[in-house]
Structure 1
């Protein structure tokens, strides 16, 4: 039995600390839980292969993990990648165990989905995934002032959309 390296322990700790948030991130951005499991499995494989790139500082490691998952979700064709045994196990477990804490009001979810993609992703990172606006900007590769502008525009659009939904129908 070999001893685990410091790098392996660091990766395991970062993944363990952020796993629920990473899964929630994936679930909120795909049509079904199986695709979320595929994306998370693919991202974790990349993190393990590139473990030397994982930052030591916890917030930087969290941003790195979310960045890898985001890139996987943007660039991977799920239909061609369903063979991994670990992903199959995760998919089977998710199909059996629903997440009771994953309840987002449908009107809010629909309003966010109606935003332009860049604004919607920024809102999701800040409000659903708990990143600061500056951290979300960095994760998305945006200048902080660009992110602030997009965020302000998105908030105004969400407020208008949700206010419109709350108005009673005139008969």
Structure 2
């Protein structure tokens, strides 16, 4: 008979509470859904093997799960082309959608992809994944004030890029 520990239940509860958000995080950053599923599976395997390190606090556990998945994704995507390939894939997916705001979302995605990697990831964590700037900073291993500065710089760059695009479209 296999004995289950309280730690096993903690891991299961943390994964169950965050699984949909983790999968969405992986899908937005992977080249295709298969890569996202593989990365999530690898991350969950790591979490299970290192279950003693999972924090008991639900928010800290969520951040730990995202941190593990983020590192797995970085390793997975390291050899892949960045930026333009993801924007092109997003363009194809969004053009298939019957939505009136497709062009705006494409413009925003392209503007985010044009940011330096550190700023783009910070913007994605805050706006796509719902983290606060302080939590995103911790996840990225940054000082909170550094993250706030990078976020401010990224917002200014995004506003300028989108304003320029609107000016050109008119």
Q: TM-score normalised by the shorter chain: which range applies?
A: 0.7 to 0.9
Q: Equivalent residue for 2:66?
A: 66
The RMSD of aligned alpha carbons is 2.1
- TM-score where L is the length of structure 2: 0.80
| Match of residue 16 from structure 2 | 16
Contact 1:126 1:136 in 2 (8 A): yes
Q: Deviations over 1:48-88 (max 9, x none)?
A: 00000000000000000000001111124799xxxxxxxxx
Q: Is the 8 A contact 1:38 1:78 kept in 2?
A: no
> How many pairs align?
147
Gaps of 5+ in 2: 80-101
Listed as ranges, the gaps of 5+ residues in structure 1 are 80-102
Equivalent-residue separation in structure 1 for 2:19 and 2:158 (angstroms): 29
Q: Shift of the alpha carbon at 1:28?
A: 1.0
Judging by fraction of residues, say which structure has more helix: 2
1:119 matched to 2:119? The reply is yes
CA contact (8 A) 2:21 2:129 kept: yes
**Relative contact order: is structure 1 or structure 2 higher (C-alpha 8 Å, sep ≥ 6)?**
1
TM-score (norm 1): 0.79
